Amino acid sequence: MARTAATPEQRAQIRDQIRQAAAEVYEEKGVAGTSARAIALKAGMSVGTLYGYYANLPDLMRSLWAEPVAEEMERLRASVAETSDPLEALQLLLDGYAAFAFSRPDILKGAFLFVRIGDGSPLEPAAAAIEFRHMLRDAVLAGQNSGQIKRGSPDQIAHQLWAGVHGALALPINIESLEFGSPKQLVADMIAMLMESIKA
């Protein structure tokens, strides 16, 4: 006899059960111990069932951070919409990215660690990452058009800004043995240096 298909409500409950199990495994075992098998065991289901709900482990782990990231993107959009000054918009974006990383270090550590599929190929970038890059690029382009920001590829300048801030956030975490001083001051100094470097 064929098994009855799960209702949409049941599927949503199972997805929540998987996400809760993934969060617990990640909290208990860290990146190295987080596997589809460990999550399925914690959720009380087979690995096959887990993959019936999530295409791969990185997609599942990304889902843990989707809601807070979406809320932060909404806040950043609203902040940028309130200013007509491209330099102020860039400052808001970079400061917002840093503040979010400091307030949610679990996302900073987790969201950027699950970036490859099991075969080593990179995942498609998350929608929030694409949107954030576009907001940076659009602010750079507006600043170039107003004469406030030096000429050059807006995409490249946006990438350099983001990489600089992200690197300043990640370096003290990845190389704890070096004395970087206050992480917040390091990031604030990096943002100030980056902002100065792009001015026309």
Instruction: For residues 138 and 6, give the distance between their C-alpha atoms in angstroms, rounded to a whole number.
Output: 44
Q: Say whether pLDDT at 48 is over 80.
A: yes
State the architecture of 64-198 in CATH terms.
Orthogonal Bundle (1.10)
**Distance (Å, rounded) from C-alpha 144 to C-alpha 146?**
5
Q: Where are the domains of the chain?
A: 1-54, 64-198
Closest by Cα among 102, 98, 77 to 89: 77
Above pLDDT 70, what percent of the chain? Answer: 84
For the cut 90, the answer to whether the pLDDT of residue 31 exceeds it is no
CATH placement of domain 1-54 = 1.10.10.60
Percentage of residues in the chain having pLDDT higher than 90: 51
Spatial distance between the Cα atoms of 127 and 67, rounded to a whole number of angstroms: 12
State how far the Cα of 56 lies from the Cα of 117, in Å rounded to an integer. Answer: 7
Task: Answer with the residue of higher pLDDT: 30 or 99.
Answer: 99
pTM, entire model: 0.77
Pairwise pLDDT comparison (144 vs 67), residue with the higher score:
144
More confident residue, 119 or 80: 80
Q: Write the pLDDT tens digit of every residue in 147-180.
A: 999 999 999 999 999 999 998 988 766 555 567 6
